[in-house]
Structure 1
Amino acid sequence: MNWIRFALWLSAIYFAYYAALICWDFLRSSKLPEDKNSHELSFEEYSEPVREIPDTEPQIYDSSVLSSGGVSLKQLFNLAREEAIEYTRPVSF
């Protein structure tokens, strides 16, 4: 028996097995009762909506940081030249 014949036999066995399973499911589904909602579960949970109250006072932090947004690479090198940021390795300009 060579590999091609083995592969053909194996694929034929798998095809027959899965075809039998599909036929078995079709035959079994025709015997089921007509009530299709018999196995359906549904859950409903009521929750009260919560309204968030916005803060009226702005939060002020004791920090020298003016902005926490990101900067571009060019701005990063400019900040390094001005020694406005602390860096641990030398940066090639």
Structure 2
Amino acid sequence: MTWLKFALWLLSIYTIYYVALIFWDNLRNNRGETGSDKYELTFVEDIHPVKSLVEEITGSGKESPVAFSGGVSLKQLFNLAREESVEYIKSVSF
């Protein structure tokens, strides 16, 4: 027996096995009935929107000590560390 014959036999055995599994699954579960809602899951969320009170508590936001929020480049980060605008734990070599 050559490797080619062995591979073909192995492929045919796996094919027959998986076709038999699919056939058995279709016989066991009659999936042709699509009108049946017996196993349909539905989720209902009872959520109502609520007005946020953040604007009322903080005001217009102009009195915040934060100058800007967002990403900075690495050069800007080192400049902020030199000016002691950011708090860092380990020493940074400039």
Q: State the TM-score, normalizing by the size of structure 2.
A: 0.53
- Counterpart CA distance in 1 for 2:67 and 2:91 is 22
How many residues are matched? 85
2:73 alignment partner in structure 1 = 72
- Counterpart CA distance in 1 for 2:46 and 2:92 is 57
1:13, distance to aligned residue in structure 2 (A): 0.7
Q: What is the DSSP-based 3-state SS (H/G/I as helix, E as strand, rest coil) of the residue aligned with 1:39?
A: coil
Point out where structure 1 has 5 or more consecutive residues left out of the alignment.
none
Point out where structure 2 has 5 or more consecutive residues left out of the alignment.
none
Higher relative contact order (CA 8 A, sep 6+): 1
- Counterpart CA distance in 1 for 2:77 and 2:43 is 54
Q: How does 1:7-26 map to 2 (within 5 A)?
A: 7-26=7-26
1:8, distance to aligned residue in structure 2 (A): 1.6
- Counterpart CA distance in 2 for 1:19 and 1:39 is 26
1:70, distance to aligned residue in structure 2 (A): 3.9
Could you list the runs of 4 or more consecutive aligned residues of structure 1 that deviate by over 6 angstroms after TM superposition?
Answer: none
Code of the aligned partner of 2:20: A
Code of the aligned partner of 2:93: P
**CA-atom RMSD, angstroms?**
3.7
Q: State the TM-score, normalizing by the size of structure 1.
A: 0.53
1:12, distance to aligned residue in structure 2 (A): 0.6
1:68, distance to aligned residue in structure 2 (A): 5.0
| 1:88 equivalent among 88, 91, 94 | 91
Code of the aligned partner of 1:71: V
Please say which structure displays the higher CA radius of gyration: 1
List per-residue Cα deviations over 1:58-78 (Å, max 9, x = no partner).
Answer: 4856x7x7445443344456x
1:36 alignment partner in structure 2 = 36
